[in-house]
């Protein structure tokens, strides 16, 4: 009767949904901190000047991160057996091919791949894969699920404003292609003109491509003004979705807190 107890305790401390109180278990707070630290190290490691000077430090700390995350991965796979759907060897395999567990595996594998990769191109891919660790933080977040739920409820509005955005992008690209296509390489086709169009409608405005003819400038000015409207629409939708998401989240948090307190009171009495 000993083994299941260890599994239950591991499950309680490792699985975000298994923790009875609000927030994260101490183990997951530690893991989250480690993820943030390892992402920062992975980012700094891409900088050649840093990597060349502190190579031993990067190798040691990456090995340490690998060992800790590998142990955590093994324990998590073992503990997930607490849930009936992931029980037994087949259940564990089913868990390992779930989206969140696959990301963990890819990130762990990216460490081993570094040893055998010598081409700079693939090396870069491996380094970028390491940054996927930050995606694991999403698993711990209850706010994320509340927010994505609120976005889903407004998917109709979002799709509609995307359609308007795409129409504006295509329309302005087509006009500039027609007007400036003869004068500049950057407007010599609609897909090329799209690069200018995106930069203008989002009001980023790099300035690497700008119309040079008078007619082109007039249409570009109209596009820039339309961009103000393009920004206005998702701002309204997202702001409302955001405010809804957090009001719901607060209500749920308050309800859970109340329930937890009642449970404690029951146990005492």
* Residue 89 CA to its chain's centroid (Å): 30
Which is closer to its own copies, CB of 182 or CB of 269?
182
Query: Which region among 27-35, 53-61, 91-99, 119-127 touches its own copies (by CB under 8 A)?
Result: 119-127
Contact call for residue 155 and its own copies (CB under 8 A): no
Decide: 197 and 223 in contact? Cβ < 8 Å.
yes
Say whether residue 156 binds its own copies (CB under 8 A).
yes
Contact with its own copies (CB under 8 A) among 5, 182, 266, 268: 182
Q: Are 213 and 221 in contact (CB under 8 A)?
A: no
Within 21-60, the residues that bind its own copies by CB under 8 A are: 39, 42-44, 46-48
Instruction: Report how far residue 172's alpha carbon sits from residue 187's, in angstroms, rounded to the nearest whole number.
Output: 11
**Residue with Cβ nearer its own copies (96 or 132):** 132
Closest CB 62 distance from its own copies, rounded Å: 15
Q: How far apart are CA 163 and CA 125, in angstroms?
A: 33
Q: Which CB sits closer to its own copies, 33 or 262? A: 33
> Distance (Å, rounded) from C-alpha 77 to C-alpha 12?
13
Taking the complex as a whole, the smallest distance from the CB of residue 78 to its own copies amounts, in Å, to 30
Q: Torsion angle of alpha carbons 195, 200, 205, 207, nearest 10°?
A: 60
Q: How far is the CB of 226 from its own copies (least distance, A)?
A: 9
Among 7, 113, 139, 234, binds its own copies (CB under 8 A): 234
CB of 24 to its own copies, least distance (A): 14
Q: Which one, of 69, 60, 61, lies nearest residue 107 by Cα?
A: 69
Which residue is it, tokens 């009495």? 269
Q: Could you tell me the smallest distance in angstroms from the CB atom of residue 13 to its own copies?
A: 23
143 touches 245 (CB < 8 A): yes
Q: Which of 188, 213, 248, 256 binds its own copies (CB under 8 A)?
A: 188
- Interface with its own copies, residue 186, by CB under 8 A: no
User: What's the CA gap between 241 and 131, in Å, rounded?
Assistant: 28
């Amino acid at each position: 009767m000993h083994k299941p107890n260890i599994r239950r305790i591991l499950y309680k401390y490792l699985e975000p949904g298994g923790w009875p109180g609000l927030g994260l278990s101490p183990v997951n707070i530690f893991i989250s901190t480690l993820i943030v630290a390892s992402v920062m190290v992975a980012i700094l490691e891409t900088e050649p000047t840093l990597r060349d000077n502190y190579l031993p430090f990067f190798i040691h700390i990456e090995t340490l991160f690998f060992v800790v995350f590998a142990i955590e991965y093994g324990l998590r796979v073992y503990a997930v057996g607490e849930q009936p759907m992931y029980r037994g060897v087949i259940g564990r395999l089913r868990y390992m091919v779930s989206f969140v567990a696959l990301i963990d595996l890819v990130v762990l594998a990216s460490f081993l791949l570094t040893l055998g990769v010598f081409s700079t191109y693939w090396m870069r891919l491996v380094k970028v894969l390491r940054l996927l660790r930050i995606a694991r933080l999403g698993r711990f977040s209850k706010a994320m699920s509340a927010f994505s739920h609120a976005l889903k409820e407004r998917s109709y509005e979002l799709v509609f404003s995307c359609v308007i955005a795409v129409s504006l992008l295509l329309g302005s690209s087509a006009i500039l292609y027609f007007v400036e296509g003869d004068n500049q390489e950057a407007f010599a086709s609609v897909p090329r003109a799209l690069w200018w169009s995106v930069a203008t409608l989002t009001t980023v405005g790099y300035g690497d491509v700008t119309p040079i003819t008078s007619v082109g400038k007039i249409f570009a000015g109209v596009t820039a003004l339309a961009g103000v409207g393009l920004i206005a629409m998702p701002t309204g939708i997202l702001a409302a979705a955001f405010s809804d998401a957090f009001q719901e989240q607060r209500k749920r948090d308050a309800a859970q807190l109340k329930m937890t307190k009642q449970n404690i009171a029951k146990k005492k009495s």
